[in-house]
Amino acid sequence: MAYTTPHNSAPKGAFANTVLMPGDPLRSKFIAENFFDSPELVNNVRGVQGYTGWYHGKRVSVMASGMGMPAIGIYSQELFQFYDVTSVIRIGSCGSLDKDLHIRDLIIAQGACTDSRYAEQYALPGTFCPIGSYRLLRAAADEAASRNVHYKVGNVLSSDHFYNEANTLDWAKMGVLGVEMEAAALYCNAARLGKDALCILTVSDSLVNKEPETSPEERERTFTDMVEIALAIAD
């Protein structure tokens, strides 16, 4: 079968209106196998697994983004532009910059500060502020509250650097809640293409509290609160 895009072998119509997007391909596989009815693998180019199935009667999809803004920039662009996906919900992990956010708490990213130059491609005469979809954000916050899940809504930092020699904690002085590596590019793509996007994050480690960080296996299989919230608000 001919590839539809350079990075996605799925035929047109293979993805649902809403695609959940974890970074880890194994988390994508775990979600499909444990939350979907009749999951179908629709893309596996470069091992970035994409599945479509059914959740409580809704057709939904999940596909990994890989790590970093260049990766999610490619995958979300192709989903929005070539597959007519209307919403992408990133479900990822982050480091907390807030003393009130602990391991397994959630951050719903209203906005995404960044040290990336991703938005320079638009040649805007100023600084663009990447923000999430209010419709999805409000639904996610309501759903988290109904489940008694501890969460905060606010800014995150989308960084190009995992091993960073700069002082990431300086962002906390501006009320930034956590640091991750993808949301800003996703929000830029959604804005440019008139789509909806939201980033829901589980705190996997803390830069301000002395807490043991989660293992790769825990990040793959146990961050289910954000998965269930994302599935509940998918349309």
Q: Which residues are catalytic?
A: 205
Give the angle subtended at the CA of 133 by the CAs of 169 and 163, to the nearest 5°: 25
Task: Quote the pLDDT of residue 80.
Answer: 97
In angstroms, how far is the first alpha carbon of the chain from the final one? 29
Task: Quote the pLDDT of residue 165.
Answer: 77
Give the angle subtended at the CA of 181 by the CAs of 202 and 79, to the nearest 5°: 90
User: What are the extents of the domains in the chain?
Assistant: 18-233
Phi, then psi, of 88 in degrees rounded to 5: -120, 125
Question: Residues 123-155: pLDDT tens digits?
Answer: 999 999 999 999 999 999 999 999 999 999 999
Task: Quote the pLDDT of residue 134.
Answer: 98
| Sites in the chain below the pLDDT cut of 70 | 1-3
- Does residue 65 contact residue 22 with C-beta atoms inside 8 Å? yes
Nearest alpha carbon to residue 205 among 46, 97, 64: 97
Question: Residues 105-121: pLDDT tens digits?
Answer: 999 999 999 999 999 99
Does the structural domain 18-233 have CATH classification 3.10.105.10? no
How many Cβ atoms from other residues are within 10 Å of residue 82's Cβ?
Answer: 14
Rounded to whole angstroms, the Cα distance separating 156 from 153 reads 9
